[in-house]
Amino acid sequence: MQKEIIGLSKKELSAALALMGEKPFRTKQIWQWLYVQGVTSFAEMTNLSKELREKLSAAFVISRPKIVTEQISADKTHKWLLEFADGQRVETVFIPEDEHGAVCVSTQVGCAVGCKFCHTGSQKITRNLTAGEIISQFMLVKDVYGEWPSSSQENRLVSNIVVMGMGEPLHNVDNVITALNIATDQDGLAVSKRRITLSTSGIVPNIPRIAQETGVKLAISLHAPSNEKRSQIMPINNRYPIEEILTACQEYQKIVTSRYITFEYLMLDHFNDDLQDAQMLIALMKKYKIGAKFNLIPFNPWPGCDFKPSSNNRVHTFSRELEKAGFAAPVRTARGQDILAACGQLKSKKLV
Ligand code: SF4
């Protein structure tokens, strides 16, 4: 049976070509066809001999996930329900800004972490995505927006990757690392490490690997200033409490010295949005000496959830308190709310 070529690391591709009796320089040629030109057939690789193209077609396929449905929100946020070869489905979201845009990729079908505020978390984990399935979500968005050299499209918007879709990326860390290394490879997609953010609920043992093996930006879904409160909404906190997460963040910042860590903080009415909560956050960051910024996220309610969004007034008072202490704490605008594409709303069982 043919193997999927998208998602092989450069080393794996090289080894596969060596087994076919090909010279090492072929790796770069094929890599560029896949990740610079975005071709979807070996026939298009015109600087390879016909014989090699046939050998490649016999051994490999070049796939993209199938689009099952898509929705575009009033603010142009674009959401797709995608299906892979085995019929499993995930959602991918593109969030365009004026001069750039981020593709929010999923890393698992469902999620095992079970955060109480998260719609995805209510969908049981089915399986991890492969590296190819992760990176091909980004490539599919480039296809849709015509952002390969063969297209006449001049505006390049598909520039950033946020690993914040369905799933806990650090529960699928090997495939995520391979996918991110494909994304940043300078001979291919060449996405800058500064344009990639991985968000985790805090799977402590794997945090240093993100620094060592990828160097991309890190975001932690913190959402509460104390273990007592965090465990109520994120049961994973019983396994990896706040102190351990912040120690792992220190490790990350020893390696990736130039980057702030973003702490995602969902504003839940009268649960975690008091001034005292903000002061506890400030004390934590000072104690662990972490270069931190906060992303205050208005909560997007979904059918059947128990939490309510904080009022604008409470959100802005909270933000001002953090800023007074020297931390950036912007209030994120919720995007794609009308199509349930916003943070924590993704779910692939059916479009709701
Ligand atoms: S917030 Fe992230 S880690 Fe938590 S349940 Fe949702 S997808 Fe999983």
Query: What pLDDT is attached to residue 340?
Result: 65
Query: What pLDDT is attached to residue 229?
Result: 97
Ranges in the chain, pLDDT < 70 = 121, 337-352
Query: What pLDDT is attached to residue 345?
Result: 59
Q: Nearest to residue 219, comparing CAs of 171, 170, 262, 266?
A: 262
Ligand 1 pocket mutation pick from 93, 109, 115, 129 by most atoms within 8 angstroms of CB: 115
Query: What pLDDT is attached to residue 106?
Result: 96
**Distance between CA atoms of residues 165 and 142, nearest Å:** 17
For tokens 């662990």, what's the residue? 288
Rounded to the nearest angstrom, the distance between the alpha carbon of 164 and the centre of ligand 1 is 9
Determine whether 343 is an active site residue.
yes
Determine whether the shortest distance from the Cβ of 114 to ligand 1 is under 6 A.
yes
Query: What pLDDT is attached to residue 352?
Result: 32
Domains, the chain, in order of start with CATH, read: 3-61 (1.10.150.530), 81-339 (3.20.20.70)
pLDDT digits over 227-264, tens only?
999 999 999 999 999 999 999 999 999 999 878 999 99
Query: What pLDDT is attached to residue 191?
Result: 97
Rounded to the nearest angstrom, the distance between the alpha carbon of 172 and the centre of ligand 1 is 13
**Distance between CA atoms of residues 352 and 346, nearest Å:** 10
Rounded to the nearest angstrom, the distance between the alpha carbon of 115 and the centre of ligand 1 is 6
Query: What pLDDT is attached to residue 347?
Result: 66
Ligand 1 pocket mutation pick from 105, 120, 122 by most atoms within 8 angstroms of CB: 120
- Lookup: tokens for 319: 């933000």
pTM: 0.94
- Lookup: tokens for 285: 């960051």
Burial of 198 (0-12, 13-18, 19+ CB in 10 A): buried
